[in-house]
Chains A and B, each alone.
Chain A
Amino acid sequence: MKISVSMLALTAALGLAGAARADDKNVKLGVLTDMAGLYADAGGKGSVVAAQMAVEDSGLAAKGWKIDIVSADHQNKPDVGVNISRQWADQDKVDGIFDVLTSSVALAVGGVAKDKNLVYMNSGAAASDLTNSACSPNLVHWTYDTYMLANGTGKAVTKAGGDSWFFVTADYAFGQALERDTTAVVVANGGKVLGDARHPLSSSDFSSYLLQAQASKAKVIGLANAGADTTNSIKQASEFGVTAGGQKLAALLLFASDVHALGLKVAQGLQFTVSFYWDANDGTRAFAKRFSDRMANKQMPTMVQAGVYASVNHYLKTLAAMGGNPHDGAKVVARMKEIPTEDTLFGKGSIEPNGRVVHPAYLYQVKTPAESKGDWDIAKLVATIPADEAFTPLAQSTCAMLKK
């Protein structure tokens, strides 16, 4: 009797061990994003569509892989994001979390990903802290960060004569990081910062902040916010005649969806930094067409959504190279860093030891209504920032993993 019980236990244990075999071909992806809030156009449903496209394009289903995608709305609240990702890890056995725009949520989810040993590929959040003070062996940060934005738009505007700045900043991790990184660039290029005004996330009335900016007499008003906060600031700045008074707006983070929402009449001339623009080459155009056909609102992909596609693509490529899913986040991410990244959207790149994906970035300028040939023909290329200049040099990264 005793033997049969232990035999039973042994078989059960073997059975369980079998479920986590090295050639296990079940993968579950979780897309955690803002579905209805101020960043929903930059990520949202489009991020889920992008993830689905990457799974389909990988062709792994035909090779016996079973890849599921779940998605959820974190409402831009860190506590909601943490609860969802913890439940994904514990109950739904999700292997990897994607997108996670909104830096405050992104930083909070990073802790869960590390605790639960998940793959965490962030393409939506901007705070450069993700690959610096908050870096982890489970994280890969795609698409962009505040360092890249500062070195794109911030540098270009300062060099073009905008040597005194006033910031209108979203008062949370992202805005603070963007203001910090841009201040460093402005100062390094001989400019100075006269002050800042911080507004709560998802505001609707920017009048008091803009009036402070106007009173500061700074040449440049740096908008260290994003999504609907940025479009509202730009609209209200134009209504209050801030721009007519000679001050220049620098939208430090502007998504293609924001430009489209603003309209070219209001947005023309604004410069913005992206790592992906849908109309860059044949590859991106083909992707954008397929993407927009699947979207209810026919929108073109933003860089966040493109980043979801590229990160899922690289994740699945790595799993295919490993021959199965080990359900071990840190192990998969370590392997991911060994394989160079390559896709039609971001071109060739690599992942640095701190988790930062390095690829070129581009400075675009919003077209005038006369230059535009179509609804989504919104920007023209001004400059290309090579990969080695776009992101924090490894030597300057404060990531604890780099100090061995």
Chain B
Amino acid sequence: MAAAVDAQSAPSGAPGFNTELKVFAGMALVLALLPPTGLVYPYFVMQALCFALFACAFNLLIGYVGLLSFGHAVFLGTGGYVCAHAARVWNMPPEIALFSGVAAATALGCLIGLLAIRRQGIYFAMITLALSQMMYFVYLQAPFTHGEDGIQGVPQGHFLGLIDLSKPMPLYYTVLAVFLLAFLLIYRTINSPFGEILKAIRENEPRAVSLGYKVDRYKLMAFALSAALAGLAGALKVIVAQNASLTDVHWTGSGEVVLMTLVGGLGTIFGPVAGAFVITAMQQYLAGLGQWVQVIQGVIFVACVLAFRRGLVGEIAARWKLSL
């Protein structure tokens, strides 16, 4: 947790705001100009963006409230399954399908959050893991998910009735826009009075209680918000990949998002994005190595924990004294 504290020790006043804004503009620009260059495969970037959003949602909990959820994939998967079902079976347009995915993930987030926030530390992590595993088996058996086969051939449709998402470029820019908006929402949240209270809870919970804050209520709100954003990531991923499967709810997904956040930098705003891109790029470009990818991921995890605990972005921020 020390790393997170260092990275955030800079006051979120004017100078920090400025660099963050510049970096955000730079990130948006690079992402917007990426596909026409033909250097990368647009579908890969879209998937990476979905995971980046997922990691940002996760980071909102661990980085700013200090809650380690070890079952976050369940929100990704729930968002995905409900979105896929809404689009495919109920023939909903994509924006409504996305919304139903987010709503379902939020509802589940409230439920799991209510139970989990009663405990702290390892017990919190174990409760989230247990409940997410329970949901995994529900999804394995529930008829609407089609178990092992998953929901296939999800129609992409027209976003707001205007943008044809079955074409790669409109799809890319829609995904990018949703990602950037969600990212701004997270940024706004952690820099709001609400965000300050979250950080206060992270730093010293008894003190926040003694100051008169209803800590549980804030934790639950943060948990639900994180679940909603993870659900949005999952729903968006379904619109991109046109399928929802058990992979998204599997516990390894919950582990991967921890890895992404750690590699990028816990408690930094841009860290999870960088981490998500590094990990998905590894899975994409090293796929030929088969099972070795997981070994390499493990080595990176160990190296990250031992050598640069602040993560990629966290180290950069610490060296140049930036707020990122």
For A377, the chain B residues whose CB sits under 8 A away are none
Name A108's contact: one of B44, B152, B246 (CB within 8 Å).
B152
Name B245's contact: one of A36, A79, A90, A111 (CB within 8 Å).
A79
A372 to chain B, nearest CB (A): 34
Does A91 have its Cβ within 8 Å of any Cβ on chain B? yes
Name B241's contact: one of A36, A79, A200 (CB within 8 Å).
A79
For B247, the chain A residues whose CB sits under 8 A away are 77, 79-80
For B168, the chain A residues whose CB sits under 8 A away are 90
Contact B149 A107 (CB under 8 A): yes
Does A263 have its Cβ within 8 Å of any Cβ on chain B? no
Name A73's contact: one of B43, B152, B290 (CB within 8 Å).
B290
Contact B242 A72 (CB under 8 A): no
Does B6 have its Cβ within 8 Å of any Cβ on chain A? no
Interface-lining segment among A50-58, A81-89, A185-193, A323-331: A81-89
CB under 8 Å from chain A, chain B span 239-272: 241-248
Contact A200 B148 (CB under 8 A): yes
Name B43's contact: one of A79, A87, A171 (CB within 8 Å).
A87
Q: How many residues of A contact B (CB 8 A)?
A: 23
B212 to chain A, nearest CB (A): 48
Name A78's contact: one of B43, B44, B149, B288 (CB within 8 Å).
B149
Does B291 have its Cβ within 8 Å of any Cβ on chain A? yes
Name A87's contact: one of B41, B147, B248 (CB within 8 Å).
B41
Chain B's closest residue to A104 (CB) is B149
For A73, the chain B residues whose CB sits under 8 A away are 287, 290
Cα separation A41 to B245 with both chains bound (whole Å): 25
Contact A35 B43 (CB under 8 A): no
For B242, the chain A residues whose CB sits under 8 A away are 82, 111
Given contacts A111-B152, A171-B148, contact A90 B41 (CB under 8 A): yes
Chain B's closest residue to A70 (CB) is B288
A224 to chain B, nearest CB (A): 14
B123 to chain A, nearest CB (A): 29
Q: How many residues of B contact A (CB 8 A)?
A: 24
Chain B's closest residue to A173 (CB) is B149
Given contacts A104-B149, A171-B148, contact A82 B43 (CB under 8 A): no
CB under 8 Å from chain B, chain A span 36-74: 36, 72-73
For A104, the chain B residues whose CB sits under 8 A away are 148-150
A129 to chain B, nearest CB (A): 11
For A107, the chain B residues whose CB sits under 8 A away are 149, 152
Does A172 have its Cβ within 8 Å of any Cβ on chain B? yes
Cα separation A370 to B41 with both chains bound (whole Å): 57
Does A201 have its Cβ within 8 Å of any Cβ on chain B? yes
Name B147's contact: one of A36, A77, A83, A171 (CB within 8 Å).
A171
For A86, the chain B residues whose CB sits under 8 A away are 43
For B245, the chain A residues whose CB sits under 8 A away are 77-79
Chain A's closest residue to B38 (CB) is A91
Cα separation A283 to B288 with both chains bound (whole Å): 34
Contact A35 B290 (CB under 8 A): yes
Contact B152 A78 (CB under 8 A): yes
For A77, the chain B residues whose CB sits under 8 A away are 245-247
Cα separation A78 to B153 with both chains bound (whole Å): 11
Contact A108 B43 (CB under 8 A): no
Chain B's closest residue to A172 (CB) is B148
Cα separation A83 to B240 with both chains bound (whole Å): 10
B238 to chain A, nearest CB (A): 10
For A87, the chain B residues whose CB sits under 8 A away are 41, 43-44
Contact A90 B43 (CB under 8 A): yes
Does B278 have its Cβ within 8 Å of any Cβ on chain A? no
For B148, the chain A residues whose CB sits under 8 A away are 78, 104, 171-173, 200-201
B156 to chain A, nearest CB (A): 11
28 chain-A/chain-B pairs, Cβ below 8 angstroms: A36-B290, A36-B291, A73-B287, A73-B290, A77-B245, A77-B247, A78-B245, A79-B241, A79-B244, A79-B245, A79-B247, A79-B248, A82-B241, A83-B47, A83-B241, A86-B43, A87-B43, A90-B41, A90-B43, A91-B41, A104-B148, A107-B152, A108-B149, A108-B153, A108-B243, A111-B153, A111-B242, A171-B147
13 further A-B pairs in the complex, CB-CB below 8 A; given A79-B244, A108-B152, A200-B148:
A36-B290, A36-B291, A78-B152, A78-B243, A79-B243, A82-B242, A83-B43, A90-B168, A104-B148, A104-B149, A108-B149, A111-B242, A171-B147
- State the 7 A-B residue pairs at the shortest beta-carbon distance, nearest first: A172-B148, A104-B149, A79-B245, A111-B153, A108-B152, A173-B149, A78-B150
